Structure 1
């Protein structure tokens, strides 16, 4: 089976897509503090890596294997990113700035289950309502769409918080 050049290219391509996808997920889990799961995934990652690299090194005279390895690596990055998007691990803090000072936007968001802290701020063109909202990454797009529906001109920016302490959200956050 491995004597067929086309089969060999397909196997190398597939192995590298799987390897790099695992690598991407492991790195994200490491950054999110999921050490033990990341370590467990790395066991399979390194086995897949060694098998794929071994196939290429055993057949260095076949340029198509090297090309398949490189293409598989690039495709694996894309697949790994798609998997991470679907997993959407962690939380995000979304800052919303609006000129609608009396529109009730914070309460609308609270009624939809979001934790909102709001205050008045001063912008270049006068007073603004500033809101800080913590949400899971899985709910992030829904929050954006809700804010845009309620105030299409709202300024929205987000960032990933590193640690949590206090507040009503902390009880529901799994470490």
Structure 2
């Protein structure tokens, strides 16, 4: 017969250790992103909760060093926490990215379309290993990455592009938020 102590020792505590590790590692992943983005107030606050949760989990593991299931729960929570933390970071899409697009055919149409969509674009003609190319530079908000890649795939699907994170951008051209009105979406831009 399964006793109450069995459920506590072999089910409840390992589950709590697993959940605690998922939480503290996810928070730690987000904290590291906040540190890299220079968010000086949020990073220490997340660090407090990260370590507090970690201490709770570690206490239970150290109290029961002879229970191998606690080690499994701890390790599995760490692995899943990394994955969930990266998913959360991807959804937050904080900051800016530098997009460099290289096209073998003329990239002027692509550059103009990006510009028409409100993105700041700089381009120049260059020579690549396979001949003449157009190099397009575009600094975007990370939250706009999907929209920009859709434009690239539509106007020049064979374009080569790279993306790099940027910690700070100054004096750039970025699309303004749109607001919904009863007759549709209208760009809300200062000065228009």
Normalised to the residue count of structure 1, the TM-score between the two structures is 0.90
Provide, for residues 27-73 of structure 1, a one-character-per-residue CA deviation record: whole Å limited to 9, x for no partner: 11111111210001111111101101001111111110111101111
Is the radius of gyration larger for structure 1 or structure 2?
2
Partner of 1:100: 105
Partner of 2:155: 150
Q: 1:118 aligns with which of 113, 118, 123?
A: 123
Which shifted more, 7-16 or 100-109? 100-109
**Is 2:142 aligned against 1:127?**
no
- Distance in 2 of aligned mates of 1:54 and 1:109: 54
1:93 alignment partner, SS class: strand
**Partners of 1:166 and 1:69 in 2: how far apart?**
46
Q: Give yes or no for contact 2:107–2:136 (8 Å, CA) kept in 1.
A: no
Residue in structure 1 matching 2:36, options 28, 31, 35: 31
- Residue 61 of structure 2 corresponds to 56
Equivalent pairs counted in the alignment come to 171
SS of residue in 1 equivalent to 2:121: strand
Moved over 6 A (4+): none
Unaligned runs of 5+ in 2: 178-192
Q: How does the TM-score come out when normalised to structure 2?
A: 0.82
Distance change >3 Å, CA 114–CA 63, structure 1 → 2? same
Cα RMSD (Å) = 2.0
3-state SS, counterpart of residue 166 of structure 2: coil
